[in-house]
A and B are shown apart, each in its own frame.
Chain A
């Protein structure tokens, strides 16, 4: 048995992501936020599932649930997903994945730290996981299991962001374009940004610059489209006939026309830059074919075309991949730490349960024997009880020692706890239901943990 599958967390992850399902399927599976609570409540009252959280983004639809009956829970979740996407379970089946116990927690850690994202290090996912957890809390479907896992997940994700460069440099062309302009200008406060053409990418970069205080001006061959874009992003319109005038007033130009020949010719730019008296001038040419005549070299003019920006973006992406290796190490360490403290909390109750079980059996057997053989004196009765107890204690000795030692290694501890539960038919120790007040508080809701706490050992 894989020791990681037996941590006793009772956590299960089940769903699809960009790694397993095409976007067409993910779109259909995505659950609207307002649909969450009802679905979660239905799942969590179903029997095999005791807690449920749903993470539904454009790149993944995943259930994080607490269950002690994995097969039943998986069936239930698959049905819920299929129903939501109005598709058959058969069609869905090849795209689904499931992670159990420590593997599930590992997955959660990686997802929240943006290590499993389509764009490595993208910043939204942590907020999305938080929102999913809050929804589960408000739907009262988060209990001790999720409550034990999520707060630590958020701490880890923040630490990964802070201590590795996984999100340091932008990897999208529009953010890189802004970065390029930042290599030239100190701030964008009151800088004039001229958008030539009405392309989609220009839109994103312009918004980012406007967010930092830049003024936006749009010019486009078709006046109507210029006005449409301008009203959408809060820009002024400059007549296209006076392109030179617009250029002269601008500090940053974002050009994305569909023109077949470069509309920003070397001659035009030289003339403009002369009139600007050499002030710093940044042209971001994100059009294909290019809008700036190739080979322009003018004092104070800095041009980046789409290839340059993409080259920088891929540099940054490479950088992120290298940093992701460091992040994976942090995730592993955190998982080890988590499991160790988790097992530490679990081993004690397991030993208690084991002792109660074996000593109880011995006592019961002794009583049965006494009942079957009447006429024994007080002394004989005591001898029989002592014998039964001392045999029981001898049997208990080795497993007890092994369990105590197993606390040092999280995975071994987990395996031993699971083995003890199976060999001695102990009901699973719900360590978190069992007086784990600290974690219960972190879950934020006292109620569900009471109702949904699994069978206690004694």
Chain B
């Protein structure tokens, strides 16, 4: 029932994005659009996964998050700086970081579910029946998959971002360092360390989940930075 509603929402969203694309407007041509696009990717990813795995609790985190983003995207004022996004490099950067953040968002949702399930099983609080949620190993594996898909995308986003900032700096004659750049770097480092530790040292479970959450929080700070700048 809830899933059917979410499916409908995602399809409608896709129609909107598709319409924009037909009108030669990139899905990420403004901050609002970008946030809405993040929501779309996250909802789509969750939806696809939920048909294969039991992810009831996951939905409880993904869906409100998606809703909040969509609402924020609607209230975001139209971009004064849209012009600067006009360059292909800028558009590519925004697109890549949007997709990257959305995929990290899914990893974070899985991490939250993992932590809840882990706690429930360790403390043996078995309210109701077992079997409502996917196994821990599955949650862990899916989260790893999200991070390993998201990381290369986000890496490219950082690179294009750096190039773009450098080019804008060259045009303006000076470089402005914003706190967002720092958070973006922190995000990249967090997920990089996570991937290395998982593959290299067999990190998994709770520690990996917390690190995922840390990385995603930092990514959210980047978005928040843009949003605050936009509103003020």
Binding site for B on A (CB under 8 A): 169, 176, 179-180, 182-186, 277-280, 297, 299-304, 308, 311-312, 315-316, 319
Contact = CB atoms under 8 A, between A and B. Distances in A.
Given A186-B137, A280-B136, A308-B124, A299 B205 contact: yes
A319 B135 contact: no
Contact of A179 (B131, B138, B206): B131
A315 B117 contact: no
B224 interface: no
A319 B129 contact: yes
B131 A169 contact: yes
Closest 3 CB pairs of A and B: A186-B137, A302-B121, A186-B138
Given A184-B121, A297-B122, A300-B205, A280 B137 contact: yes
B64 interface: no
Contact of A182 (B122, B126, B129, B135): B135
Interface in B106-163: 117, 121-122, 124, 126, 128-131, 133, 135-138, 141
A121 to B, nearest CB: 13
Contact of B133 (A179, A183, A302, A312): A183
A169 B124 contact: no
Contacts of B133: 183
Contacts of B130: 169, 176, 179-180, 182-183, 312
Interface string B190-232: 0000000000011111110000000000000000000000000
A277 B202 CA distance: 7
A311 B125 CA distance: 10
A275 to B, nearest CB: 12
B129 A169 contact: yes
A312 to B, nearest CB: 5
A308 to B, nearest CB: 5
Contacts of A303: 124
Contacts of B131: 169, 179, 182-183
B202 A184 contact: no
A377 to B, nearest CB: 84
B141 A186 contact: yes
A277 B121 CA distance: 19
A180 B125 CA distance: 12
Contacts of B129: 169, 312, 315-316, 319
A297 B130 CA distance: 21
Contacts of A299: 205-207
A320 to B, nearest CB: 10
Nearest to B133: A183
Contacts of A185: 135-137
Contacts of B136: 183-185, 280
Contact of B117 (A182, A183, A186, A278): A183
Contacts of A169: 129-131
Contacts of A277: 201-202
A279 B136 CA distance: 11
B122 A302 contact: yes
A183 B114 CA distance: 11
Given A183-B130, A186-B135, A186-B137, A278 B204 contact: yes
Contacts of B126: 308, 311-312, 315
Nearest to B121: A302
A199 B126 CA distance: 25
B122 A184 contact: no
Contacts of A301: 122
A180 B205 CA distance: 17
24 contacts: A169-B129, A169-B130, A182-B130, A183-B117, A183-B121, A183-B130, A183-B133, A183-B135, A183-B136, A184-B136, A186-B137, A186-B138, A186-B141, A278-B203, A278-B205, A279-B204, A280-B204, A297-B122, A299-B206, A302-B121, A303-B124, A315-B126, A315-B128, A316-B129
A184 B204 contact: no
Contacts of B202: 277-279
Contacts of A278: 202-205
B21 to A, nearest CB: 38
A432 to B, nearest CB: 44
Most buried by A among B126, B128, B141, B201: B126
A176 B130 CA distance: 8
A443 to B, nearest CB: 41
Contacts of B137: 184-186, 280
A277 B133 CA distance: 25
Contacts of B124: 303-304, 308
Given A186-B135, A186-B141, A301-B122, 8 more contacts: A183-B135, A185-B135, A186-B138, A279-B202, A280-B136, A297-B122, A312-B126, A312-B129
A303 B138 CA distance: 19
A316 to B, nearest CB: 6
B110 to A, nearest CB: 14
Most buried by A among B117, B124, B201: B124
Most buried by B among A186, A279, A299, A316: A186
A279 B206 CA distance: 11
B211 to A, nearest CB: 14
A312 B127 CA distance: 8
A283 to B, nearest CB: 11
A301 B131 CA distance: 19
A279 B137 CA distance: 10
A303 B126 CA distance: 12
Contacts of B201: 277
A304 B120 CA distance: 12
A297 B119 CA distance: 10
A179 B204 CA distance: 22
Contacts of A280: 136-137, 204-205
Nearest to A296: B122
Nearest to B129: A169
A392 to B, nearest CB: 63
Contacts of A304: 124
Contacts of B122: 297, 301-302
Contacts of A308: 124, 126
B26 to A, nearest CB: 39
